[in-house]
Amino acid sequence: MTSEFDWVADAMNKTVPWVSTAGIEFSELERQRVVCSLRDVAEQRNHVGGPHAAVMFGLAETASGAVTLAAFTPLLDRATPLVTRSEIAYRKLALGDLTAEAVLGREIDEVRAELDGGTRPEFPVHCTIRDDEHNTTGEMTVYWTLRPNDS
């Protein structure tokens, strides 16, 4: 992984303790797309041998946060990113290591214009969770907002 957004992985590890505790690794970092992964850990499995639903959720939510950071860093001196809600669908039993791909669901300029106009923008980040065999095991949309710091 070498890109102009390598700093995002470092920032996530330093500012969100769960990221480093869980062992999340970032493999692709772009302004509007992030891919990260998590190794299969026996202690984090569910009753049917796959990663617990909370692990899948946490990986995808982390990927969505990394996309938010990459896309909106220039705005973070005046707004704080916060999750407003999430929707997840578990599609197939996940086995082995997991990968989550997160893609920003709105244009950066649209979100910036709403913030500049005095409203609190909301935007989706669409996540796909895959297992070792590249099967889609879950799909999640995380809705974020940029809360103005003066509110």
pLDDT at 126 over 90: yes
The answer on pLDDT for 1 being more than 50 is no
pLDDT at 43: 87
User: Which pTM was predicted?
Assistant: 0.94
CB 143 within 8 A of CB 83: yes
CB 115 within 8 A of CB 55: no
CB 6 within 8 A of CB 32: no
Q: Is the pLDDT of residue 103 over 60?
A: yes
The CATH number fitting domain 6-148, selected from 3.30.70.920, 3.10.129.10, 3.20.20.80, 3.30.413.10: 3.10.129.10
The percentage of residues in the chain with a pLDDT greater than 70, rounded to a whole number, is 98
Exposure b/e, 38-66, CB count within 10 A at least 16 = b: bebeeebeeeeebbeeebbbbbbbbbbbb
Mean pLDDT, range 105-122, rounded to an integer: 96
Domain spans in the chain, listed from the N-terminal domain onward: 6-148
